[in-house]
Chain A
Amino acid sequence: MSDVVGTPAKAARQRLGTASTLVRLAFIGVALAAVAGTFAYLGGWLTPNALTPARFTDGFEEVYGVHPGFRRNHAKGVGVSGFFESNGNGVRLSKAAVFRPGRVPVLGRFSLGGGNPFAPDAVSTPRGLGLQFSLPDGELWRTAMLHLPVFPFRTPEAFYEQLFAFRPDPSTGQPDPAKVQAFLAHHPESAEVLKVIKSQPAPSGFGDATFHSLNAFRFINAANESTPVRWILTPAQPWKTTPSQDKDFLFDALIAQIHRRPLQWRLIVIIGQPGDPINDATIPWPAERQQVDVGTLTLDRVESDETSAATDLNFDPLVLPAGIAPSDDPLLSARSAVYSQSFTRRAGETKQPPAITPADVRKGG
């Protein structure tokens, strides 16, 4: 490419000297490297030790092993479905269509915390309930709740650290007390929450468990007023599950209960007051906070993970309809990010038969 044939020649455009050409080429190289470097920095390649959704999920896989096709946490579970009947009491708090009087279909999944899909049931394991409310206009509301009254870990980093601190030692089957001590010394808020959890009697099964939103959210009503809230599901059934050596006794009892009659919970919205922390899942709100009963959840059908549509859903707590918004709790965005990573990994894997099979569900637990 020599200088210009066919364009109006300009006197100023003389041939570039070698030095000048090199300087200009270097400038181009620097400009391109700056763009690529910015891209690499944003993608986390220059900070290999930062905690990312991928590294978080690697942590689950390291502690629990890789079980293809299963969730990296809350791997063991069953699908459920039913409906939510709103009584209209929530309308003054949130414009979400789910709170208008009437019924919306619900798809859900009961699960046990932990990444082993074949872990034996234990009353000491955190029990989870993921729900999806399908609103009339096509909006979706998903929530992933736990039976624990407060969450023991304040930040994503603390949650990641505890995975390894509480990891059972292969020789004893128990966590290493020294590691647990070190973790709790570093995270006094976690020690506090674990003390509270241990001091309360654990529910005997799934049906008699109260499930908690854990994180705070904001309800936005039609007048655009924002209210800090947490929510709980309180069980209508007093049924007790008898603990047994059977490795699936919690799920068997749940299946038997649903076969007998639908299970119900009341959805209670707890209204935060100014000063109540909305960015810290480890701090409970005072017990006297106003509670609004907004409706009843009825679950009348149970299914194996093998056939349930809930298996292929990510119960991302930030799938929210207009009228429900996240709080500043750093756990929320991190949960959304890590759930997504876990979902993407298992979506591409060949599924294995789950612990609770369709035959287990048919025979009624």
Chain B
Amino acid sequence: MPTQFPAFSRLLHWTMAAMILTMLCIGVAMVASLGSYYVLVSIHRPLGIAILILVVVRFVNRLLNPPPPFPATMSRAECRVATASEFLMYGLMFILPLVGWGMLSAARYPIVLFGSVHLPFILPHNVMLYSVLRMAHTFLAYLFFLTFIAHFGAILFHTLIVRDGILKRMAPWNIR
């Protein structure tokens, strides 16, 4: 019985964890910033698109490489909540960049990746639509942050209090 996620899954997890935390921090900082706004927005947009691409890879990988079982310390209900929260996070990784792309399209803000490379608009020019998506973007981002806090808290609890070695499943190094 494998006790760890496959190496590629772990690579995706930690890479995306760093990207998403960076993204949430940039997002919340840029809307409150005057001097750094432009630099932060210029990172936020291409980084969001990178996350959108990676989450598709990650979802396919998840279907091809199922995760190892949860520790026996976890009840059936706990396992179900944990799995549901994982899929909630996959959903947010997918929907947040897509809402961002959509809202920028509806406002006719260019989505520049680098140089002159930019994405097409995926929605008609409609500022009311922009307004709704803009609010949804903020709401979903806060939801993602709360989900992250729950995820982080649960891992700490299992690691430090239950001490069931749950972190080893996702450890960046191979456990033998």
- Asked if chains A and B come from one complex, the reply is yes
A39: min CB distance to chain B, Å? 6
In the complex the two chains form, is A347's CB within 8 Å of B28's CB? no
In the complex the two chains form, is B110's CB within 8 Å of A139's CB? yes
In the complex the two chains form, is B34's CB within 8 Å of A314's CB? no
Interface code A18-55, partner B: CB below 8 Å = 1, 0 otherwise? 00010011011001100110110011100000111110
Q: Which of A58-66, A118-126, A268-276, A317-325 contacts B (4 or more CB under 8 A)?
A: A317-325
- Which B133-171 residues have C-beta < 8 A from chain A? 134-135, 145, 148-149, 152-153, 156-157, 160-165
Report how far A44 CA is from B132 CA in the complex, Å. Answer: 23
In the complex the two chains form, is B32's CB within 8 Å of A53's CB? yes
B2: min CB distance to chain A, Å? 15
A20: min CB distance to chain B, Å? 10
B68: min CB distance to chain A, Å? 13
Given A21-B161, A39-B28, residue A344 in contact with residue B34 (CB < 8 A): no
B152: min CB distance to chain A, Å? 7
Q: How many residues of B contact A (CB 8 A)?
A: 48
Q: Does A333 contact B (CB under 8 A)?
A: yes
Which residues of the other chain, B, contact A332 by a CB distance below 8 angstroms? 38
In the complex the two chains form, is A39's CB within 8 Å of B72's CB? no
Which residues of the other chain, B, contact A156 by a CB distance below 8 angstroms? 34-35
Given A16-B161, A139-B116, residue A309 in contact with residue B32 (CB < 8 A): no
Contact of B161 among A13, A25, A323 (CB under 8 A): A25
Report how far A56 CA is from B73 CA in the complex, Å. Answer: 53
In the complex the two chains form, is B149's CB within 8 Å of A36's CB? yes
Given A42-B25, A348-B131, residue A28 in contact with residue B107 (CB < 8 A): no
Which residues of the other chain, B, contact A54 by a CB distance below 8 angstroms? 31-32
Where chain A touches its partner, the secondary structure class is helix
Q: How large is the interface on A (under 10, 10 to 19, 20 to 34, 35 or more residues)?
A: 35 or more
- Which A207-247 residues have C-beta < 8 A from chain B? none
Report how far A140 CA is from B37 CA in the complex, Å. Answer: 19
Output the nearest chain A residue to B131 by Cβ-Cβ distance. Answer: A348
Q: Does A170 contact B (CB under 8 A)?
A: no
A280: min CB distance to chain B, Å? 15
Report how far A344 CA is from B35 CA in the complex, Å. Answer: 19
Q: Does A182 contact B (CB under 8 A)?
A: no
Contact of A347 among B36, B127, B164 (CB under 8 A): B127
In the complex the two chains form, is B29's CB within 8 Å of A42's CB? yes
In the complex the two chains form, is A31's CB within 8 Å of B156's CB? yes
A219: min CB distance to chain B, Å? 15
Q: Does B62 contact A (CB under 8 A)?
A: no
Report how far A156 CA is from B38 CA in the complex, Å. Answer: 14
- Which B96-151 residues have C-beta < 8 A from chain A? 107-110, 115-116, 118, 120, 125-128, 130-132, 134-135, 145, 148-149
Q: Does B24 contact A (CB under 8 A)?
A: yes
Report how far A61 CA is from B163 CA in the complex, Å. Answer: 55
A255: min CB distance to chain B, Å? 24
In the complex the two chains form, is B149's CB within 8 Å of A333's CB? no
Q: Does B60 contact A (CB under 8 A)?
A: no
Q: Does B54 contact A (CB under 8 A)?
A: no
In the complex the two chains form, is B38's CB within 8 Å of A326's CB? yes
In the complex the two chains form, is A312's CB within 8 Å of B108's CB? yes
Q: Does B43 contact A (CB under 8 A)?
A: no
In the complex the two chains form, is B130's CB within 8 Å of A7's CB? no
A159: min CB distance to chain B, Å? 10
Report how far A323 CA is from B134 CA in the complex, Å. Answer: 29
Report how far A189 CA is from B35 CA in the complex, Å. Answer: 20
Contact of B38 among A21, A31, A322, A336 (CB under 8 A): A336
Contact of B160 among A6, A24, A53, A97 (CB under 8 A): A24
B167: min CB distance to chain A, Å? 13
In the complex the two chains form, is B160's CB within 8 Å of A330's CB? no
In the complex the two chains form, is B32's CB within 8 Å of A43's CB? yes
Q: A24-B161, A42-B32, A44-B29 are in contact. List 6 more A-B contacts (CB 8 A).
A: A5-B73, A7-B164, A28-B156, A137-B116, A326-B38, A334-B35
Subset of 14 A-B contacts with CB under 8 Å = A32-B153, A35-B149, A36-B149, A38-B25, A42-B29, A52-B34, A53-B34, A54-B32, A139-B116, A330-B35, A343-B107, A344-B130, A344-B134, A348-B135
Where the two chains meet, the residues of B that have a C-beta atom closer than 8 Å to any C-beta of A are 24-25, 28-39, 41, 71-73, 107-110, 115-116, 118, 120, 125-128, 130-132, 134-135, 145, 148-149, 152-153, 156-157, 160-165
Where the two chains meet, the residues of A that have a C-beta atom closer than 8 Å to any C-beta of B are 1, 4-7, 13, 16, 21, 24-25, 27-28, 31-32, 35-36, 38-39, 42-44, 50-54, 56, 97, 137-140, 156, 309, 312-314, 316, 318-319, 321-323, 326, 330, 332-334, 336-338, 340-341, 343-344, 346-348
